A and B are shown apart, each in its own frame.
Chain A
Amino acid sequence: MMNPANQTQFIDQGLASDPTNRLPVTLTINGQAYPLQLESRVALLDALRENLHLTGTKKGCDHGQCGGCTVHIDGQSALACLTLAVMSEGKAITTIEGLAQGETLHPLQAAFIRHDALQCGYCTPGQLMAASAWLSGQPPRTAAEIQEAMSGNLCRCAAYPNILAAILEAQGA
């Protein structure tokens, strides 16, 4: 989980790209600052996967339709494919690589394993990031509320019943 102490960072309010459309962009990911030179058109998803080799965040559709690219931005779930990297500067980004604490799995990850909440596993990072964004510090949700809150995460293998069971268990933990 994100360490709030690392979140403050200078944001150049009047930042503008040079004629080649490149910009200096510092991304704060899983508590660590990554200074990059990026073209303005680079999506956060591509910066994570191509520039930083954090390939746990998945590209399913690249158009906001599958939830595979879900990360946390300032603690809320967000789609990395519909976010420009440069617009994420100064924000605390958490990816699936930052969900476990060292060797200790996040309770939701452990519950996914217990409930066999995946088949191919491609949607799993997105499912975990989507649910973990609201799992802690909230009153438990009903199965129906969980399904509605998770409707932005598609699973082609249809592991839905197991995903729901895992989340139901993890929110009680």
Chain B
Amino acid sequence: MHPFQYQRATSTAQAVAAVAPEPGATFIAGGTSHLDLMKEDVHRPSRLVDISLLPLKQITALAGGLRLGAGVSNTAAAAHPEIQRRYPVVSEALLTGASTQIRNAATLGGNPLQRTRCPYFRDPAQPCNKRAPGSGCAALGGINRGHALFGASDACVAIHPSDLAVALAALDAVVQTTGPRGPRAIPFPELHRLPGATPQVDTTLAHGELITAIDLPAFAGRSHYLKVRDRASYAFALVSCAVALEMDGEHVRRARLALGGVAHKPWRLPAAEALLVGEKPSEKLFRAAADAAFADARPLEHNAYKIPLGRNLLVQALLETSGLQALAGPAGTAFAASVGGLAGTFPAPY
């Protein structure tokens, strides 16, 4: 790990002032993504500004919704009764992510800003335009089983690995920030960007812009998260799906759908969302929506399996959210959100 200056922030303003003028300076919160990449020499900050002691750890009521401080841990958010009750998609996404230990350290501000898990990005000996702009993309002609179906470019086919981000995109959460140019609010679907010719830039945040909170807007519908992994627990998504459904009696009033594991950002599905509005839930309808969702998928050499997997996942998530099928476990838990086996399906020994 390269040496760096360490500094403890005393206020949000002071944190911004410490990072903004120094191109190599970064914030550190839980450290579970940043430190990992620093050990690999993928990240080489000149200065770490520690924001973990800032008073950003509250969850408060807000105009029918909730304001989640950026420093709230994934564990605390997932266990919060109002999140469990009103936004189970959020706790389900959080609880299928990482492990108990990592969730205890990880924060709501840091989680959506974690970097891609593309193995070529994590290996400084490989070309990667995201890590070393202009060096090329080793994943394009390499092993790209985990890579993007949508919105990729010739420069980068990486996906965004966060589970929480997929749930927040489906809820149209709002990111509150403060930065060198003062405070602003960013609609969650606009926080991340597509790679284009500059895949080194993951988000629309300015250098030194600090996330202070994430707002969950008022929501009276049903929401749900489903995730498929290579193993039952403690693995990133191959494909995941967040659904937020609002009904008018028997008919869909509004549907918001987002996929994880398929693009450089949480992938909203406007065509499929539109198809559902005004309709009565049925498997046939959901199949049509899933077909629309994947109509413009562009598979690479090794990831075409994600198309049928993702279609079926979306149908399953819609069936469960609408109540046409039962959840696989209690709402708001990892057991509701894990597909294809989950930790605990192993028979107890005694």
A interface, CB within 8 angstroms of B = 11-17, 21, 23, 39-41, 43, 62-64, 67, 70, 73, 76-79, 82-84, 86-87, 130, 133-134, 142-153, 160-162, 164-165, 168
How many Å from the CB of B29 to the closest CB on chain A? 10
B interface, CB within 8 angstroms of A = 1-8, 10, 28, 31-32, 35-36, 38-40, 48, 50, 52-53, 75, 98-102, 104-105, 232-234, 334-335, 342-346, 348-350
* Residues A63 and B344 in contact, CB atoms below 8 Å apart: no
Q: Which residue of A lies closest to B102 (CB)?
A: A64
* Residues A143 and B344 in contact, CB atoms below 8 Å apart: yes
* Chain A interface main SS type: mixed
Which of B28, B50, B75, B105 is in CB contact (< 8 Å) with A79?
B105
The number of inter-chain residue pairs (CB within 8 angstroms) is 129
How many Å from the CB of B63 to the closest CB on chain A? 32
* Residues A82 and B232 in contact, CB atoms below 8 Å apart: no
A87 touching B334 in the complex, CB below 8 Å, given contacts A16-B8, A79-B101, A82-B102: no
* Residues B105 and A144 in contact, CB atoms below 8 Å apart: no
* Chain B interface main SS type: loop
A76 touching B343 in the complex, CB below 8 Å, given contacts A63-B36, A83-B105: no
How many Å from the CB of A151 to the closest CB on chain B? 4
Residues of B within 8 A of A67 (CB): 99, 101
Which of A62, A83, A165 is in CB contact (< 8 Å) with B350?
A165
Residues of B within 8 A of A82 (CB): 31-32, 35-36, 102, 105
> Nearest 3 CB-CB pairs, A to B?
A152-B99, A144-B344, A151-B233
* Residues B4 and A40 in contact, CB atoms below 8 Å apart: yes
Residues of A within 8 A of B98 (CB): 64, 152
* Residues B6 and A21 in contact, CB atoms below 8 Å apart: yes
Which of A17, A87, A130, A149 is in CB contact (< 8 Å) with B28?
A87
How far does the alpha carbon of A58 sit from the alpha carbon of B258 in the complex, in Å? 39
How many Å from the CB of B277 to the closest CB on chain A? 36
* Residues A40 and B3 in contact, CB atoms below 8 Å apart: yes
How many Å from the CB of B57 to the closest CB on chain A? 13
Residues of A within 8 A of B345 (CB): 144
Residues of A within 8 A of B1 (CB): 41
* Residues A13 and B53 in contact, CB atoms below 8 Å apart: yes
CB-defined A-B contacts under 8 Å, sample of 13? A14-B8, A14-B10, A16-B8, A21-B4, A40-B3, A62-B39, A83-B105, A87-B31, A130-B100, A142-B344, A144-B345, A145-B344, A152-B100
